[in-house]
Copies of this chain bind each other. A is one copy, B any other.
Amino acid sequence: MKGYVGKILYVNLTDKTLREEPIDPKVAEKYIGGKGYALYLLYYKYLKEYMKKGISPKDINPLGPENVLIFATGPITGVAGAPSPGRYHVMALRAPLTGSIASANSGGEFGPFLKFAGYDMVVIEGASDKPVYLEIIDGHAEIKDASDLWGKNVFDTTAVLKKRVAEKGGKNISVACIGPAGENQVLFAAIMNDDHRAAGRTGVGAIMGSKKLKAIVVSGTHEIELADPEGFRELSKKLIERMRKNPVTGEGLPKYGTAVLVNIINQVGAFPYKNWQGAYNPDAEKISGETLAEKYLIRRRPCWGCQIGCGRVVSVKFGPYQILYSEGPEYESIWALGSDTGVSDLEAIIKANHLCDELGLDTISMGSTIAAAMELYEKGYIPEEDLQGIDLKFSNPAALVEAVWRTAYKSGFGKMLALGSKRLAEIYGAPDLSMSVKGLEMPAYDPRGIKGIGLEYATANRGGCHVTGYSVSAEVLGIPEKMDPLSYEGKAALVKAFQDFTSVVNSAVNCLFVTFEVNAKDYADLFNTIAGFNFTEQDIFTIGERIYNLERWMMHFYGFSAKDDTLPKRLLTEPVPEGPTKGQIEELDKMLPEYYKLRGWVDGVPTLEKLKELGIEP
């Protein structure tokens, strides 16, 4: 198939066997690639098969050999000239942190280079009894001993494997791996690629750890053929030109990175502060993208083939949080490690972020879990002696940095933090202090100040997530058109549309930032010129809705239903204490019934009729 390599690699770590299957054009037409195609495989090849054998989905252990982990690219991945084509998607049958489907996305070079190495996707089954890594060079895959890599951090692991393959003459080498956090099965461990890029959320790194799969190294020179090279060239030129003129993709993101949002969202009054006790941070300026650019930025480091280039390279030259080379921190990381913990020392935040990269931790869940621990401690739920001398109070940069490495190694109180905020707050008797949905810590937008995003958090399939339905785009940035963030009107439709559209973006696989300019019609054109489909604009939304519904359908087998589509009590009952949105709460019930109606869901689950309408065989 054009646009695709055409091959899926299956790796069984239990019996150390490898096999290949071709990409099925019919499945590609219905689910594209990336997240969509991976979901298709997870449901029809694994979950349904387990059920046929009498295995209850609820008995699937996310950290057991029965879990299945997929690294997936799509037709846009690795296509030079396509908008921001540097991403890949990770999916697994079940997530350690949430018990729902695991899902995470990352940039860098790994996605394109996996395709250049000869595969669209890699499916990991079973579990090894000893540490191994997977090497894929020019269509040849091998499971190799990783006992000498186990225990190594992300940077060491990456360097060693890149060198090993480079010495064999490999081109386009990239490594995705886990650090100590993944090995130790920290429930929100990330898969890291190209040193500082993270498939961060839902604990996919812990899955690799449980399978004793330390890394995947890819290398190769496979070329991707296009269905309509001439048509694509023209489209590419047009889209890149539009992205360059767009104020977000052409100026805000290149100049300040994602951190440009710190001041913007704070001024809206939706920047969560101290475990969401507030929605306005009086010290936001100190940790803003502007301050980062002024004081610490060295240069940019774009993902492979990206025209935006939001990635930051930073350095802290002096002081206790000195770190000579790092990347990021992104908006979400600054918020979670900084604002949510009350820490306004940007150097400590850069250091904590760097440790998350090096040790392989999701920054959002890490920061939010520390923030929850801080509130639990300050309110007397966590006794001082449990902390082993770390003064885990809000605004303490030393405690922040210390807590990160301890979590990765499960050292001292780190072993409690390693469970994530939901389990932590439950253990210490105050479950409402975990700011999570379905066990996944929410990101940096307070629904009390941006109403639509609350509906996205409540209904996102993977849990408290902003990137599967980024309504903030309309509610704050005015893209595609400005909506009042404090109004509930039209938000149900907005969130649904974004969720469906984003499902396609994550199946493309494409960078979400592209969508600040590139619309559904453009995507149809991209798929058509790259892979030879005949999609219309409407097809894009239908495919997205299909993907979103299949995921939701699968989740219901794990016991998820409308009861789980909610928000932490604090957001529904505690008014914002100060700032531009003072007095606001989130009234989810003003959106949720309409959302379900638009979705055609009953009790939060697609009806059989809905599935049929979307062409999903249940």
A411 touches B (CB below 8 Å): yes
A319 and B411 contact, Cβ closer than 8 Å, known pairs A151-B184, A324-B389, A389-B326: no
Contact A398 B358, beta carbon cutoff 8 Å? no
Asked whether any CB of chain B lies closer than 8 Å to the CB of A596, the reply is no
Q: Which of A375-411 contact B (CB under 8 A)?
A: 384, 387-391, 396-399, 401, 405, 409-411
B320 and A354 contact, CB distance less than 8 A:
no
Chain B residues with CB under 8 Å of A323's CB are: 389-390
Query: B409 contacts A324, CB within 8 Å?
Result: no
CB contacts under 8 Å to B, within A146-178, are 151-153, 155-156
User: B324 touching A397 by the CB < 8 A rule?
Assistant: no
Given A184-B151, A388-B155, CB of A322 within 8 Å of CB of B409: no
CA distance A197 to B180 in the complex (A): 28
Closest chain B CB from A322 CB (angstroms)? 5
From 319 to 378 in chain A, residues with beta carbon under 8 angstroms from any chain B beta carbon are 319-326, 348, 354, 358-359
Nearest chain-B residue to A402 (Cβ)?
B322
Pair B396/A322 contact, Cβ less than 8 Å: yes
Dominant SS among interface residues on chain A = mixed
- A320 in complex: contacting residue of B152, B180, B320, CB < 8 Å: B320
Which chain B residue lies CB-closest to A348? B320
Within the oligomer, what is the number of copies of this chain? Answer: 2
Contacts of A348 in B (CB 8 A): 320
Chain B CB within 8 A of A412 CB: yes
Chain B residues with Cβ below 8 Å from A389 are: 323-326, 354
Q: Is the CB of B411 within 8 A of A180?
A: yes
Q: Mark A71-85, 1 if CB is under 8 A from B, else 0.
A: 000000000000000
Instruction: Report the separation of the CA atoms of residues A220 and B151 in the bound assembly, to the nearest whole angstrom.
Output: 39
Residue in A184, A322, A325, A412 with the greatest tally of chain B CB atoms within 10 Å? A322
> Assuming the A-B contacts A358-B412, A389-B354, A411-B153, are A320 and B397 also in contact, with contact meaning beta carbons closer than 8 angstroms in the complex?
yes
User: Which size bracket describes the interface of A in this complex?
Assistant: 35 or more
When distances are taken between beta carbons in the complex, the residues of chain B under 8 Å from A326 are 389
A337 to chain B, nearest CB (A): 15
Cβ of A412 and Cβ of B321 under 8 Å apart? no
* Shortest distance from the beta carbon of A210 to any chain B beta carbon, whole Å: 16
A219 to B356, CA, bound (A): 41
Which residue of A184, A387, A388 has the most chain B CB atoms within 10 A of its CB atom?
A388
Q: Please judge, given known A-B contacts A151-B184, A389-B354, whether A412 and B322 are in contact too, CB under 8 Å.
A: no
Query: Contacts of A319 on B, CB cut-off 8 Å?
Result: 398
Given A354-B389, A398-B319, A398-B320: A156 touches B412 (CB 8 Å cut-off): yes
Interface centre among A153, A348, A354, A405 (most CB of B within 10 A): A153
Most buried by B among A184, A325, A326, A398: A398
Known: A184-B151, A409-B409, A412-B156. A399 touches B358 (CB 8 A): no
Contacts A322-B396, A322-B398: A153 and B391 contacting too (C-beta < 8 A)?
no
Tell me how far the C-beta of A338 lies from the nearest C-beta in chain B, rounded to whole angstroms.
16
> Are A399 and B153 also in contact (CB < 8 A) when A405-B405, A411-B180 are?
no
Q: Are B398 and A180 in contact (CB under 8 A)?
A: no
Per-residue 0/1 for A416-430: is the Cβ within 8 Å of any B Cβ (1 yes, 0 no)?
A: 000000000000000
Residues of B within 8 A of A411 (CB): 152-153, 180, 358-359
Give CA–CA (A151, B181) in the complex, Å: 13
| Alpha-carbon gap, A411 to B152, bound state (A) | 6
Residue among A184, A326, A390, A409 facing the most chain B CB atoms (10 A cut-off): A409
Residues of A within 8 A of B (CB): 151-153, 155-156, 180, 184, 319-326, 348, 354, 358-359, 384, 387-391, 396-399, 401, 405, 409-412, 415
A-B pairs, 6 with minimum CB distance? A320-B320, A324-B389, A320-B398, A323-B389, A322-B398, A153-B411
13 examples of A-B residue contacts, CB within 8 angstroms:
A153-B388, A153-B411, A156-B388, A320-B321, A320-B348, A320-B398, A321-B398, A323-B389, A324-B384, A324-B390, A358-B411, A358-B412, A359-B411
Other A-B pairs beyond A180-B409, A320-B348, A323-B389, 17, CB < 8 Å: A151-B409, A151-B410, A153-B412, A155-B388, A155-B412, A156-B388, A156-B415, A319-B398, A320-B321, A320-B401, A321-B398, A322-B390, A322-B391, A322-B396, A324-B384, A324-B390, A405-B405
